[in-house]
Chains A and B, each alone.
Chain A
Amino acid sequence: MLENSIFAILALFLLFGSLGMISFKQTIFSGLSFLLAMMALAGLFALLENSFLFLAQIMVSVGAVVVISLLVMLSVNVNEQNLPKEPAKFRWMLLSAILVTPFALLMYRSLTHLNREFAETTAGYGSLKMMGATLFSDWVLPFEIVSVLLLAAMVGAIIIARKEPVNDA
């Protein structure tokens, strides 16, 4: 019963956060709604007993990604006249919702046919120890590839966003 009410509160925060994210005109309000949605998602990870995933979501998605998005929004500092004119925004949203509905129904039906019961959790499920054991035994190659990917993304971001053009020697 307690689980259900916690789920309801988190789902409400998540849905209203994402709805506000796609409907606010001012960019910074969209960013704040997105922050709310990401924190509610971290709460859902905690409800699924993935304690390490909860920590990673709070530290990386909320603490790094969303905060740096807010920083970029504030430093870009868009005026009202530089925002795109979107007079028919809600009409477009309604139209795309109608378009997306059959795909969403298909996705829901296929997901619910896959598995219907929660398994009994073993002791230590979701803990840092079990996570690390799985990560460094079965998933060690993807882990290393992700580290190379992060390095490449960092170099690429610096090259793209620097002011003066790069001189090829």
Chain B
Amino acid sequence: MTPEPFFALATLLFSMGIIGIISRRNLFVVYMSIELMLSSVNLILALFSRLHGDMHGSVIALLMIAVIAAEAALFLAIIVLLYRQRRTLDSDVFSKLSQRDTL
């Protein structure tokens, strides 16, 4: 089996994550798109570990799974906080840091 289909699959996954971040406004979908991009990088790391025949890529992928878990905890806490403030999941509502409000 050749590695090209794996590369194509990881590239497609990464692109789908970017498309989800650009085109959707639901906060949960944005969060899951970020997770999808991290997971596609994980797939590439595992694939290179298998291509070279040593374990270093797999170990980096394992550490990245831990980073994904930390990111998930923080992101879900932020989503719960934002929903409690404004009762919506629309990411366009949360523009406190944009310069439009100060003008």
Contacts and interface: CB of A to CB of B under 8 A. Distances in A.
A119 B51 contact: yes
A72 B76 contact: yes
B66 interface: yes
Given A22-B16, A83-B26, A134-B56, A153 B46 contact: no
B58 A108 contact: no
Interface string B1-32: 11111111111111111111011111011011
Interface string B27-54: 0110111011001001110111111111
B52 to A, nearest CB: 6
B13 A68 contact: no
Given A69-B72, A107-B14, A160-B78, A117 B51 contact: yes
Contacts of A72: 76, 79-80
A48 B18 CA distance: 25
Contact of B62 (A30, A34, A89, A131): A131
A166 B1 CA distance: 56
A169 interface: no
Contact of B13 (A4, A18, A89): A18
Kindly list the 10 A-B residue pairs having the minimum CB-CB distance in the complex, ordered from nearest.
A119-B53, A84-B90, A153-B70, A22-B20, A92-B23, A96-B22, A161-B77, A157-B77, A134-B55, A160-B77
